[in-house]
Amino acid sequence: MFPAHRPRRLRRTLWMRDLVRETRLAPEALIAPLFVVPGTKIRRPIPSLPGQFHLSVDRLAEEVEALADLGVRAVLLFGRTERKDARGSGADAREGVILKASALLKKRLSNRIGLIADVCLCAYTTSGHCAIPGRGGAVDNDASIRRLAQIAVAYAKAGADVIAPSDMMDGRVGAIRRALDAAGLSSTAILSYAAKYASAFYGPFRDAAGSAPPASQDRRGYQMDPANAREALREIALDIDEGADIAMVKPALAYLDVIRAARGRFDVPIAAYSVSGEYAAVKAAAAKGWLDERAARDEILTAIRRAGADMICTYWARDAARDHARAKH
Ligand code: PBG
Ligand code: ZN
């Protein structure tokens, strides 16, 4: 009989396709990024990220409860401040939203869902940079990592389970690990944005977080060149050596090769961040009727898992988890 091999046998029926699927997309692998703003009773749609909201701490709790009910296992918190300054005091000010949010969520949700706190300065500094400025337009690496470690300790003390530094300064994972341990917070984990690229896909996020660098500047002095993959492996190795428990590659879709290479090389869990531009681009095309959002979403998220990511930070977490729960019945 010709042909001898008929791989289509395994594709003919839904039950068979389900049975032989190599990559499964479950809510347990999803992390939902959330934007916390000062004030109360705020749930304001974010124009650059359709379907996402600016949430005051009180409304955040409802959102996180809904995510926990859907089986999402962690949230990633980003804060905003009304008062920016040179050292980003707003990040860990007593009335700062991340401190308040961490404390409230820990109390209301206990350990039903993980609280990951993004640690960076860009949303809190007047310069708009992820670091403290040094001489001649450069960044002051050492002052920056001291400050980041301070913020990390404050977040962890308030209730954050995981610290996620996204600044790309050298040595910050080690500085944060030592500061956490010295403060008696040795169970707090570190998810490092280990290989974070200077990407064009962050635009919608910077609008949402109020963290755009000045128009004349960019972050290429500390974020990675998109042309480099081997360098990503060096960055990840350093972060693991300094104490990172989970290493993240960001963005995801344009860096599937990096995710794959990281998965093959390292034994720590690998996370991928499907960033704002990946989400907003699909949303915009879907709004025009050019793409089926749900199909495109599942294809993208599945591809990121297939490349080797154990977990995905995605603005689709809630929708994907909800559809997953519905599909079961
Ligand atoms: C910076 C930071 C960025 C994102 C989260 N934190 C990138 C940047 O502005 O350079 C991007 C997330 C996204 O686009 O979804 N600390
Ligand atoms: Zn930053």
Q: What is the pLDDT of residue 135?
A: 85
Q: Kindly report, residue by residue over 272-319, the tens digit of the pLDDT.
A: 999 999 999 999 999 999 999 999 999 999 999 999 999 999 999 999
Cβ atoms 148, 175 nearer than 8 A: yes
Return the higher-pLDDT residue of 278 and 325. 278
Q: What percent of the chain has pLDDT over 90?
A: 91
User: Which ligand is the nearest neighbour of the Cα of 253?
Assistant: 1
What are the tokens at 265? 């090389």
> Could you give the 3-state DSSP secondary structure of residue 250?
strand
Q: What is the pLDDT of residue 329?
A: 55
- Average pLDDT over the chain reads 96
> Could you give the 3-state DSSP secondary structure of residue 225?
coil
φ, ψ dihedrals at 195, nearest 5°: -115, 90
302 CA to centre of ligand 1 in angstroms: 22
> Could you give the 3-state DSSP secondary structure of residue 311?
strand
Query: Is 157 noted as a catalytic residue in this protein?
Result: no
Neighbouring C-beta atoms of residue 174, cutoff 10 Å: 18
Q: Is the CB of 59 under 6 A from ligand 1?
A: no
Q: Is the CB of 166 under 6 A from ligand 1?
A: yes
223 CA to centre of ligand 2 in angstroms: 10
Determine the residue of 36, 75, 80, 122 to mutate for testing ligand 1's pocket, defined as the one with the most ligand atoms within 8 A of the Cβ atom.
122
Predicted confidence (pLDDT) at residue 203 exceeds the cutoff of 60: yes
Cβ atoms 224, 198 nearer than 8 A: yes
Predicted confidence (pLDDT) at residue 78 exceeds the cutoff of 60: yes
User: Which ligand is the nearest neighbour of the Cα of 139?
Assistant: 2
Q: Return d(Cα 169, Cα 244) in angstroms, integer.
A: 14
Q: Return d(Cα 175, Cα 268) in angstroms, integer.
A: 20
Q: What is the DSSP letter of 156?
A: H
Give the closest residue to 284 by CA, choosing from 197, 203, 226, 196.
203
Q: What is the mean pLDDT of residues 118-144?
A: 92
The region of weakest confidence among 113-127, 144-158, 211-225 is 211-225
Q: What percent of the chain has pLDDT over 70?
A: 99
Q: Kindly report, residue by residue over 254-264, the tens digit of the pLDDT.
A: 999 999 999 99
Q: Is the CB of 202 under 6 A from ligand 1?
A: yes
Predicted confidence (pLDDT) at residue 3 exceeds the cutoff of 80: yes
Kindly list the protein residues that place their beta carbon closer than 5 angstroms to ligand 2, a single-atom ion: 120, 122, 130
Query: Is 196 noted as a catalytic residue in this protein?
Result: yes
What band does 196 get if pLDDT is binned at 50, 70 and 90? very high
Q: What is the mean pLDDT of residues 244-265?
A: 98
Q: What is the pLDDT of residue 328?
A: 63
Q: What is the mean pLDDT of residues 151-157?
A: 98
Neighbouring-strand partners of residue 75: 32, 115
> In Å, what is the CA distance from 89 to each residue of 95, 96, 102?
11, 9, 17
Which CATH number is associated with domain 25-328? 3.20.20.70
Q: Is the CB of 120 under 6 A from ligand 1?
A: yes
Predicted confidence (pLDDT) at residue 156 exceeds the cutoff of 70: yes
